[in-house]
Structure 1
C-alpha cells in the first residue's frame, strides 16, 4: 500500500517542483474535485437502489430511473456545457454547475417521494457536466500559456482521480448508508459542492490563455436548434435502450428523424453546436468515441449488473457488496499510476480490453456460493480496465481534438460513455429478469463478452493510435 501511495503522490510532487513558468499546479484541486463529481454520483447510487425501492415501495423498474435520469441529463449536458466552456471560458460554467450539485444534494436529502429523488438526479446530472470539460480546457489553456505542453502527468492525475471515485463509489455508498441511510448518498454532495465553489472562486482564473487568444473573434451564437435536435435524439434513443420493447417502436423512429435533422442543421449552420464537418474528417477522434462506448458498456454492466447479482444472487448486504467492489479502486489506480507516464495509447487499450475479456470469462463460471475472495479477484481484474481505458481515451481525445473545441470534444467523450451505460442498462433490463439470479448473470456475462471483444478488435485495428505523440 505504501508503494501505491508513493506512485500516486509522485506526479503531484513533480508538479510542485516546476517553476512559475510551468503548469499552474493550483488548478489541480478544482480540476480534480470538479471532474470527480460526475463519476462519484454515477456509481455511489449502485448499492442504494434496493433500499430506496423499499423506502418508497417502488419496484426495480422505477428505481432504475435514478440511474438513467442522471445519464440522460449528463449525456445531453456534457457537450452542451463543453461548448459553452469553449465559448465563454470555464470559470462561470464551473461555478454554476457546482452550485447545482449542492442544490441537488439538498433535494435528495429531503425528497418526500421517488419523483423528487429522480428530479434531484437530473439536477445533479446537469450540475456535474461542467467539471470534466473545464478540466480539459484548463489543461489545454495552460499549454498555450506556458508554451511547454506537459499534459502527461496532469492527464494521468485527472484520469486516476475520476476513475478512482467511479470505482470506489459503491464502497463509499455502502459506508454512507451504514452511517446515515441512503439519503446520505445524496447529502454528501452538499459539502462537495461547497468545497468546489470555494476552490473555483479562489483558483480558476477569470481569463485564460485560450480566451485571450479568441477574444477578438465575434461573440459565438448558441445553436439552440442543434442542441434541441441533439437532445431529442439522445432522449429517444436512451428511453428505448432502457426498456427495449416493440410497443416503443416510435422511439427509434424519433431518434432517427431527430438525428437526421440534427445532421442537416449542423452541416448547414455557420456556428454549429457540434461541427460534424470536423468530426467527419477526424476518423481517429470518432474511433476514440466508439471505443469509449464499448468499454463503458462492459464497465457499467459490471458496476450495476454484477452489484445487483451480489445482492440478489449471492445474498450479500449492500455494505459487503461495496467491499467486494473495492478492488476496482485498487487495481484501477495502480494500473493508471504504473503506466500513466508512458506515451503510448494503443498498448493501454489492448491490455484494458484483455482484462475485460478475462473478467467476463470468470463471471461465466461464478456460482451463487462463490467465495468472497473469488469475487474480489474478478472485480480486481476488471479494475485494470478502469485505470487504463479512461487514461488512454482521455489522452487520445486531448491530442486528436482541435484546441478551440477541446471542452466540447471532452464532453462528447463522456456522452459516448453514457451511451455505453445505457446499452448496459438495456442488457441488464433484458437479461436480469425477474431477478439477478446466477444463470441470468451468466447471460449478462456473454453480453459483456461481445462488447469487450469489439473493444479489443477496434484497439488492435486502429493504426492511428501509434502516431499520437505528446506534441500539441
Structure 2
C-alpha cells in the first residue's frame, strides 16, 4: 500500500470512528446526565434514541446524496456538521437542546460512515481487502473503547468532555481528507439537473417523514405510559397514532419506486427477512447490556465512572478478539455453529445476570461481559455471512443497507426495553427482571440458530 493510500485510509478512519465512538461513550454518562438535568432514566434515554434514530435515517439518505453531490463533499460536510454538533452540545442550556445537538452530531457522523467505505473501495486499489479490514478496525475499535474513554473523561472532567473530545478528531480528519481524498469524477453540475419533485421521490422524503413521525410517537407513547405509572388516554392515543402512521409507512414503502426502507425485498426474499429479524434480536440483547450495565453499576453498585469504563472495556475487547476467530470458523464450518455458540454464550451471560445482587463479586460481571462480548463478535460475522449466503449477488447492496437498518432498530428497541422495565430509576429488582427478559431473548436466538440451514434460512416447522 502506497504512502498516499495509507494517509487516505487514516483520514477516512479518523472521520468514520466518530459515529461508533459517540454512540458508545454516552453509555457511561447516562447516570451523570440524569443527575445534572434532574431527569429519570426514561427521559434521559432520549439521548440514545435520538442518536440512533437520526443515524438510521441519515445514513441511507447520505449514501444516495453522495451519488448527486460527490462522496468527498459529503464526507467533508459531515465533518463540519459533526464539529458544530460536538462544539455546541456542551453549551446546551437544557436537555432539549442537548438532544438537538446530539441529532446534529449524529447526522454529521452518519454522513461520513455512509460514504467512507465507498471512498476506500474506489480510491485504494492495491491490497483493498486489507484497507477495508483496517477501516473496520476503526469502526469496531471505537465502539469497543468508547465506554472506557467515556469513563476516563468523566473521571478527570465532566460530561461535556465526551463531546469536546471529538473536536481534534474532526479537525485532523478534515485537514487530511481535504488533501488526500481525490475529487469525484462525477461533475458537480449533475446535481441541479434533478428537479425538486424528482429529488423528493428519489430520496423518499415521504417515507422518511412517516417513519420518523410514527416511530417517535410510538416511543413517546410507550415510555410516557411507563414513566407516569398509569395508562393516560393521551399517551395511549399517541402510541396508537404512531402505530397507525407506521402502517401507512409500510403501505407507502410497498408502492414507492425508491423506498427509504425497501420492504418489498423482505417479501421477495424471506430468508433475508429471518436474518434481519435475528439481527434485530441480537442487537436488542447486546445493547441492552451495553447501555443498561453502566447505569446499574453506577446507580445500584455505586461503581465510579472510571471503573465502570474499565469493566465495559472487556465487553468490546472480547468482541474484537472473537471476530477474526469467527471469520476463520465460519469459512470452514458455515455460520450455523458460530451463531448457535453465540446464542448459548449470551444465554449463559443473561442467566448469570439474574443471580446478581448488590454484593455479587466483580468476577461475575466480567464473565457476563466476556460471554456477551464473544457472542457479539460471533454474531456480527455470522449474521453477515448468513446474509451474503441468502442474498442474490445483485441484491447485496440493498441487503447490506437493510441489515444496517436492522442494527439501528435493535439498538433503539434495546433502549426502549430499558426505559419500559426500569421506568424512572435503576434498582436491583428491576435489573433482575430485565435479566430474565434477556434470557428469553437469548433462548429465542438459540432456537432460531438451531433450526438454521446452511444456506442461511430457517427450517420449516
User: Which category of TM-score, normalised to the shorter sequence, fits these structures?
Assistant: 0.7 to 0.9
* Partner of residue 166, structure 2: 189
Alignment match, 2:260? 273
Q: 1:287 aligns with which of 274, 294, 308?
A: 274
Secondary structure in 1 matching 2:26: coil
The residue that corresponds to 2:101 in the other structure is: 120
CA contact (8 A) 1:242 1:425 kept: no
Contact 1:171 1:326 in 2 (8 A): yes
Taking the aligned partners of 1:199 and 1:91, their CA distance within structure 2 comes to 12
Cα shift readout 1:201-237 (whole Å, capped 9, x = no counterpart): 33444337xx79xx9xx96733222222222233233
Aligned counterpart in structure 2 of residue 260 of structure 1, from 229, 234, 247: 247
Structure 1 residue 323, shift from structure 2 partner: 1.3
Match of 2:325 in 1: 338
Structure 1, residues 399-445: CA drift from partner, whole Å, max 9, x if none?
A: 73766873x65444333223222322232223224532222211111
Partner residue, 1:173: 150
Residues 124-167 of structure 1, C-alpha deviation per residue, up to 9 Å, x if partnerless? 12122223332444466579x78x9x75x556544444333223
Q: How many pairs were matched up? A: 438
Aligned-partner SS, 1:274: coil
When structure 1 is superposed on structure 2, of 271-280 and 164-173 the one drifting more is 271-280
Quote the residue 2:380 is aligned against. Answer: 390
- Cα pair distance change 1:195/1:385, threshold 3 Å: farther
Quick one: higher RCO (CA 8 Å, sep 6+), 1 or 2?
1
Match of residue 417 from structure 2: 427
**Per-residue deviation, 1:297:** 0.8
Gaps of 5+ in 2: none
Cα separation, partners in 2 of 1:433 and 1:391, compared to 1, 3 Å: same
Is the contact made by 1:79 and 1:410 (CA closer than 8 Å) also made in structure 2? no
Match among 72, 77, 99 for residue 91 of structure 1: 72
> Secondary structure of 1:359's match?
helix
Q: Distance in 2 between matches of 1:403 and 1:165?
A: 31
Other structure's SS at 1:171 match: helix
CA contact (8 A) 1:174 1:322 kept: yes
Mapped partners of 2:455, 2:14: distance in 1: 29
Q: What do the CA deviations read for 1:69-101 (whole angstroms, capped 9, x no partner)?
A: 212222322332233345655322222222211
The answer (yes or no) to whether the contact 2:92–2:98 under 8 Å persists in 1 is yes
- Do the aligned partners of residues 437 and 70 (structure 1) sit closer, same or farther apart at CA in structure 2, a change above 3 Å counting? same
Moved more, 356-365 or 243-252: 243-252
* Match for residue 416 of structure 1 among 381, 406, 415: 406
Contact 1:356 1:452 in 2 (8 A): yes
Q: Which whole-Å CA distance do the structure 2 matches of 1:250 and 1:189 have between them?
A: 40
Give the corresponding residue for 1:470: none
Consecutive unaligned residues in structure 1, runs of 5 or more: 1-15, 468-472
1:359 CA drift (Å): 0.9
1:237 counterpart = 2:218: yes
| Cα shift readout 1:165-185 (whole Å, capped 9, x = no counterpart) | 223221110101122211100
1:298 aligns with 2:298: no
Find the partner of 1:74 among 49, 55, 69.
55
Give the conservation status (yes or no) of the 8 Å contact 1:163–1:333. Answer: yes
**Cα pair 2:350 2:438 within 8 Å, conserved:** yes
CA gap 1:465/1:160 in 2 versus in 1, 3 angstroms = farther
* Deviation for aligned residue 1:370: 1.8
Q: 1:64 to 1:388 in 2, by over 3 A?
A: same
Partner Cα distance (1:202, 1:396) in 2: 39
Aligned to 1:42: 23
Q: Residue 411 and residue 96 in structure 1: after superposition, are their counterparts in 2 closer, same or farther (change >3 A)?
A: farther
Instruction: Say if 2:339 is the partner of 1:349.
Output: yes
> Is the 1:43–1:166 contact (alpha carbons within 8 Å) kept by the matching residues of 2?
yes
Mapped to 1, the partners of 2:365 and 2:274 lie a distance apart of: 32
**Counterparts in 2 of 1:276 and 1:437: CA distance versus 1, 3 Å:** closer
Pair 340,197 (structure 1): closer, same or farther in 2 beyond 3 Å? farther
CA contact (8 A) 1:330 1:383 kept: yes
- 1:378: Cα distance to partner? 1.7
Instruction: Report if aligned partners of 2:61, 2:203 keep a CA contact under 8 Å in 1.
Output: no
TM value normalised by structure 1: 0.81
Provide closer, same or farther for how the CA distance between residues 458 and 111 of structure 1 changes in structure 2, counting only shifts above 3 A: same
Q: Distance in 2 between matches of 1:156 and 1:223?
A: 32
Q: Distance in 2 between matches of 1:450 and 1:123?
A: 36
Distance in 2 (alpha carbons) for counterparts of 1:86 and 1:41: 27
Mapped partners of 2:412, 2:257: distance in 1? 32
| Equivalent residue number for residue 361 of structure 2 | 371
